[in-house]
Structure 1
Amino acid sequence: MMNSQPNSIAELMQRANDMAGVSLGDIANEHQLNVPDNLKRDKGWIGQLIEMELGATAGSKPQQDFLHLGVELKTIPIDQSGRPIETTYVTVAPLTNIQGLTWENSVVFHKLQQVLWIPVQGDRSIPVANRKIGTPVLWSPNPEQLTALQQDWEEIMEMIALGQVEKVTARHGEALQLRPKAANSHSLTESIAENGLIKLSNPRGFYLKINFTHQILTNAFG
């Protein structure tokens, strides 16, 4: 059962700090949930568990998890040295109807205004139930980070607008990257073709690169 929404950022941070050092198994027991043996088929399980514990309500909607507080929630798996072990999904990338869309009114900009990072042990040798939750970090991008994110977003969106979505690789961008976002390669959605008409492409998502999120954690704990 999901906990109630926190009424303030202070209450949210109290809940997040109370989880630090606690295992995923202990939290799952509180909510009477079974812990998967591995996360191959349950990739979003940890995030959903943390959402229940903290009282996040957005689910998969394109808005912040704690809309009333202006806070997005992100769990981040880390290795023994505290480095993130995978990129962080932000939101689905729009591939059509993007005329007039600006950085300031994009979902990426909105979601990354203020993020509550919950580090979780991600080492695959640790059973899922035994993985511990780390100290939370409440982060807002500084001007330098915001500029990097905006430049990456604008460059990627320009390529999408020019019908070059297939040419955008994970190497594009310093902070933000565009990657296929689908259960399999057979999933298709409409996108802009180079002639300005519509073609079918795999859905794409915006992700934060590992070096970028590592810097966030380093700055918080350094």
Structure 2
Amino acid sequence: MAKSSPLSLNELMERAHNMAGIRLADIASDNNIMVPTDLRRDKGWIGQLIESELGALAGSKPEQDFLHLGVELKTIPIDHKGKPLETTYVTVAPLINIQGMTWENSVVYHKLQRVLWVPVEGERSIPVGERRVGTPILWQPTAQQAKQLQQDWEEIMELIALGQVDKITARQGEVLQLRPKAANSKVLTESISEDGSIQLSNPRGFYLKIDFTQQILTNEFS
């Protein structure tokens, strides 16, 4: 059963710190949730488990997980050296109706204003239930990080507006990248074509690159 939402930032951080060092199997048992054998079919399971334990409210809505506290929750799988093992999904990218959209009113900006990072052991050699939760980090972007994020977002959104969405690769962007976000390549959504008409493309999502999240963890723990 999901916990009630924390009423204050202190309560949220206390819950997050109380998870540090605990096995996922123990957290799952506490929440009456079954532990999957592996994550191939349950890719979002760890994130959902941590959301449940901390009392996050947003689910898949395009808003912060703890809107009343101004905090987004991100679990991040790490290896034994503390390095992130994958990019971090932020939100779905808008591919139509983007006139007048600015960095300050974008979902990416809103979600990354303040993030509670919860590192979790992610190496495949460790059974899912045996993986332990790490020390949480409450992060706000520095002026430099905010500038990098804005620059990448604006460049990517400009290419989308010009009908170039299908030419954008994951290499684009210093810290933020655009990648297909769907179960398979058959899933299609509307996007802007080069002549300004509507075409069909794969849905896209914004992701934070590994080097960027690595920097966040390093800055915190060094």
TM norm structure 1: 1.00
* Counterpart for residue 47 of structure 1: 47
Letter in 1 for 2:33: L
Q: Partner residue of 2:144? A: 144
Q: After TM superposition, list the pairs within 5 Å mapping 1:23-62 onto structure 2.
A: 23-62=23-62
Cα deviation digits, residues 143-198 of structure 1 (max 9, x gap): 00000000000000000000000111000001100000000000000000000000
- Distance between the aligned counterparts of 1:33 and 1:188, measured in 2? 33
Provide the rounded CA distance (Å) in 1 between the counterparts of 2:205 and 2:55: 25
Q: Which residue of structure 1 lines up, in the alignment, with residue 131 of structure 2? A: 131
SS in 2 for 1:36: coil
**Matches of residues 4-15 of structure 1 in structure 2 within 5 Å?**
4-15=4-15
Q: For the residues of structure 1 that align with 2:29 and 2:166, how far apart are their CA atoms? A: 44
Are residues 1:88 and 2:103 paired? no
Paired position in structure 1 for 2:161: 161
Residue aligned with 1:169, SS = coil
Letter in 2 for 1:185: S
The corresponding residue for 1:195 is 195
Name the residue aligned to 2:68. 68
Instruction: State the match for 1:204 in structure 2.
Output: 204
**Aligned AA (1:61):** K
* Code of the aligned partner of 1:182: A
Q: What whole-Å deviation, never above 9, does each CA across 1:106-141 have from its counterpart, x for those lacking one?
A: 000000000000000000000000000000000000
Whole-angstrom CA distance in 2 between matches of 1:151 and 1:32: 43
Root mean square deviation of aligned Cα? 0.3
Question: How many angstroms apart in 2 are the aligned matches of 1:80 and 1:10?
Answer: 29
**Identity score, percent:** 72
Structure 1 residue 205 displacement after superposition? 0.1
Report the Cα offset of residue 105 of structure 1: 0.2
Distance 2:209 2:219 in 1: 16
Q: How many residues of Structure 1 are paired with residues of Structure 2 in the alignment?
A: 222
SS of 2:150 mapped into structure 1 = helix
Give the corresponding residue for 2:78: 78
Alpha-carbon distance in structure 2 between the residues aligned to 1:128 and 1:6: 27
Equivalent position amino acid for 1:93 in 2: A
TM-score normalised according to structure 2 size: 1.00
Q: Following TM superposition, by how much is the alpha carbon of 1:32 offset from its aligned partner in structure 2, in angstroms? A: 1.3
1:33: Cα distance to partner? 1.2
Instruction: Give the gaps of 5 or more residues in structure 2.
Output: none
Q: Which amino acid aligns with 1:21?
A: G
Find the aligned partners of 1:221 and 1:174 in 2 and give their Cα distance. 23
| Aligned equivalents of 1:189, 1:33: Cα separation in 2 | 33
